[in-house]
Amino acid sequence: MNKKKAKEIAYAGNITYGQLQGLIDNCDRTKPCKINKNITREQALTIMESAIKNKEPNESPNTTWFNHRDKLTLTGDGINAMNILVECS
C-alpha cells in the first residue's frame, strides 16, 4: 500500500489493534524495510509491534487530534498505524 492510501485509512481511524497485529503477523520479515532503508524490516516491525503490544484487539487507536493551530493531525498511534499499513500491505 502506498503512503497516501495508508494515511487516509489512518485519518479515518477505522482500523483496530487486532487488524494491525494481524498485518504484522502475516508480513514477510525478510524483505527490505519500506519506511526506513537504514534498518531491517525485522527491526521496524519489532518497534511497531511493541507500540501496540498489550492493547485490546477490538479497540481502535485514537489516530487524530487537533494541534495548536487547530489542524487535524495524526497522533503517535496514527503514525504507527500508517507505518504498519505501508510496511505490511
Domain edges within the chain: 3-57+67-88
Share of the chain above pLDDT 90, in %: 92
Q: What is the pTM of this model?
A: 0.91
> Rounded distance, CA 52 to CA 13, Å?
15
Question: How confident is the model over 46-78, as pLDDT tens digits?
Answer: 999 999 999 999 999 999 999 888 999 999 999
CA-to-CA distance for 58 and 82, rounded, in angstroms?
18
pLDDT at residue 89 in the model: 85
Which pLDDT score is estimated for 46?
95
Of residues 62, 59, 57, the one with CA closest to residue 75: 62
Beta bridge partners of residue 64, listed in sequence order: 74
Sorted by sequence, the CB contacts under 8 Å of residue 85 that are 6+ apart come out as 1, 5, 6, 9, 10, 15, 23
How far is it, in rounded angstroms, from Cα 66 to Cα 54? 26
